[in-house]
Amino acid sequence: MARACKCPQRCLSITTRGVFSGITALIRSHCLIVILILLAACSSGAIPLRETQVVDGLSITLDTPDRPRMNTAIDFVVLLQDAKGQPIDDASVYLDLDMPAMPMGVTQPVALPDGPGRYWARTAYTMEGLWEITVVVERAEETYRATFRRDVLK
Ligand SMILES: [Cu+2]
Segment 112-117 shows an average pLDDT of 98
CA–CA separation, 27 and 12 (whole Å): 15
Q: CA separation (Å) from 29 to 18, 25, 91?
A: 16, 6, 49
Residue 146 scores a pLDDT above 80 = yes
Query: Is there a contact between 136 and 97 (Cβ–Cβ < 8 Å)?
Result: no
Residue 144 one-letter amino acid: Y
Between the CA of 130 and the centroid of ligand 1 the distance, in Å, is: 8
pLDDT digits (tens, 9 = 90+) for 66-92: 999 999 999 999 999 999 999 999 999
Between the CA of 149 and the centroid of ligand 1 the distance, in Å, is: 14
Between the CA of 153 and the centroid of ligand 1 the distance, in Å, is: 12
**pLDDT value for 86:** 98
Looking at the chain, the whole-number percentage of residues with pLDDT higher than 70 is 70
Between the CA of 126 and the centroid of ligand 1 the distance, in Å, is: 8
**pLDDT value for 42:** 47
Residue 23 scores a pLDDT above 70 = no
Is residue 8 packed enough to be buried (19+ CB in 10 Å), middle (13-18) or exposed (0-12)? exposed
Between the CA of 28 and the centroid of ligand 1 the distance, in Å, is: 41
